[in-house]
Chain A
């Protein structure tokens, strides 16, 4: 195996043992990015200078036998909605073109403190709004398994970069499935932590009651390591949970004997046949290893999509009010203030962002709040209660991550069709639960399939435990994408 596909733990261990230097790792990654990212389109900005300096510092520390951080020398790519001091952050939007943030997001701070090396910023749908990364204002990102298909979204730059070996791991954000869905499309692991588990301080806000940062990695063990680094209380985020963080790597026991796996009927009604076959294989593998299945119902599931597409745009319309040409980003000059706001925003935002701002503004209008936003928040409670009841009878819930494998560019022209790509992932965000997508095989066309696990609040451990078993039993093993930058 080449260095580009080394695991997070392996990379850190080999650097600590002196088998390879952090500088060698970074140079190999930068060379690989230069060679194939022109076609893949994962990176919006590569920080060669910063990455080389950080690698030299790790090598210097090792030379003097200093204690290295747990991720020392591990090269990581960040979704471009995480602000980075001195490194351009655009949220894949023209309105933030050229903005250099003066501070690091909490999770970036945590990664740097652990010794991780920030390689650069990766593409996504504009302001994380989308399911294919086609809404980026800058470039398309291709799926490394098949370059005619999308990598998923909104964290599509993250999933493509991880799958193609252009970083050891990536951080994404998940508001309605934006970590898990692209992970499923690109054959990698994507974990959305419990709402409040990871600080949102320094994340360009989309929908504040749903957004959560999490890892995209090539293995479940790597997801555990990265989550360990970024999880925990941060007083700067008022929704951050002041709760102990367990040792997530301890969860990977390889054991599911006695584990009760909930199978919700509403998630197995409409999906691609090959996705269904992948999920059947996954259930069989878990049962063979001693897990039991529990058939259950989550009756309010059908309301998740409309509730989500009211709550998320309503919160987005409020959050995105800050992009007005006054304090950061682009400005279009005009004769008076109101016209400057309108022109700046009209020129700076793309079509999907405008659509959602308009939807949210409509839903929050005076006299409409109770009928729309409040109603949707009440439906969220009903959805959450469905899960509370289900978890009385099971320990973890298993569903497909997506109804289809990765689709082709331009396949979803109607907004509602695109929204349906998230139909299996939204409820997790509405209820604030942790969720993970783990690869569970390939279709006959060689496209990855993702199995989704949902857990009780703060029980990321059960996702890692069951996810690790799925990975070992029906995962992709050493199969790597051959579409772009394939390595034999």
Chain B
């Protein structure tokens, strides 16, 4: 397995929605590469025809009746929101307004 390039680390950070400082990028490139090398041993395990594990005790997914049940009142559910306008959550635009710096990338 090849070690990670710096570009790959930047791309993963973008996918993970993580702002990473340049010195953090250097450290992560080194650390993640070492960890992935350690994991390379798994590739040699013969898993031909072996199902992926889902639960320790065999069980089927349960369905519940499609009936409305009591839930948290909206105001309580929204009590931890950093910015609100009544029952609406306020977030910045998905595209930076003209004249303001943004990432220029689609979220």
Contacts and interface: CB of A to CB of B under 8 A. Distances in A.
Contacts of B105: 338
Interface in B6-60: 8-9, 12-21, 24, 28, 31-32, 34-36, 38-39, 41-43, 45, 47, 50-57, 59
A337 B97 CA distance: 11
Interface residues of A, number: 76
Interface in A383-433: 384, 415-416, 430-433
B79 A325 contact: no
Contact of A337 (B47, B72, B92): B92
Contact of B43 (A101, A371, A382): A371
Contacts of A235: 62, 64
A284 interface: no
Contacts of B76: 102
Given A340-B91, A355-B28, A335 B100 contact: yes
A102 B97 CA distance: 35
Given A333-B92, A336-B92, A358-B16, A196 B55 contact: yes
Q: How large is the interface on B (under 10, 10 to 19, 20 to 34, 35 or more residues)?
A: 35 or more
Contacts of B103: 336, 338-339, 342
Nearest to A345: B18
Interface stretch (A140-148, A246-254, A302-310, A476-484): A302-310
Nearest to B79: A102
Interface in B69-86: 72, 76-77, 79-83
Contacts of A358: 9, 12-13, 16, 18, 28, 32
Interface in A335-381: 335-343, 345-347, 349, 351, 354-355, 357-359, 361-362, 365, 371-372, 374-381
Contact of A238 (B62, B101, B106): B62
B56 A457 contact: yes
B96 interface: yes
A317 B16 contact: yes
Contact of B17 (A338, A379, A431): A338
A195 B57 CA distance: 8
Given A310-B42, A336-B102, A355 B82 contact: no
A307 B35 contact: no
Contacts of A239: 55, 59
Nearest to B56: A432
A196 B101 CA distance: 48
A342 B17 contact: yes
Contacts of A329: 80, 82
Nearest to A365: B15
B42 A102 contact: no
A374 B43 CA distance: 11
Contact of A380 (B53, B64, B77, B100): B53
B68 interface: no
Nearest to B107: A338
A457 B59 CA distance: 13
Nearest to B63: A238
Contact of B41 (A306, A341, A361): A306
Contacts of A211: none
A99 B64 CA distance: 31
Nearest to A194: B56
Nearest to B73: A102
Contacts of B55: 195-196, 209, 239, 432
A351 B21 CA distance: 12
Nearest to A239: B55
Contact of A336 (B18, B34, B51, B93): B93
Contacts of B101: 335
A285 interface: no
Contacts of B67: none
A285 B45 CA distance: 38
B81 A100 contact: no
B56 A346 contact: no
Contact of A433 (B19, B32, B56, B77): B56
A103 B102 contact: no
B83 A331 contact: yes
Nearest to B81: A327
A80 B34 CA distance: 31
Contact of A382 (B47, B83, B96, B97): B47
B82 A337 contact: no
Contacts of B64: 235
A326 B91 contact: yes
A303 B100 contact: no
A384 B54 CA distance: 11
A361 B19 contact: no
A354 B79 contact: no
Nearest 3 CB-CB pairings of A with B: A432-B56, A346-B19, A377-B52
Given A196-B59, A342-B17, A432-B56, 12 more contacts: A239-B55, A243-B57, A303-B41, A317-B16, A330-B82, A335-B97, A338-B102, A340-B92, A347-B19, A362-B8, A432-B53, A432-B55
27 contacts: A100-B80, A103-B72, A196-B57, A235-B62, A238-B61, A327-B80, A331-B83, A334-B92, A335-B101, A336-B92, A336-B93, A338-B102, A339-B102, A341-B17, A342-B14, A346-B20, A349-B18, A351-B24, A358-B12, A359-B35, A361-B16, A372-B39, A384-B53, A384-B56, A415-B34, A432-B53, A457-B56
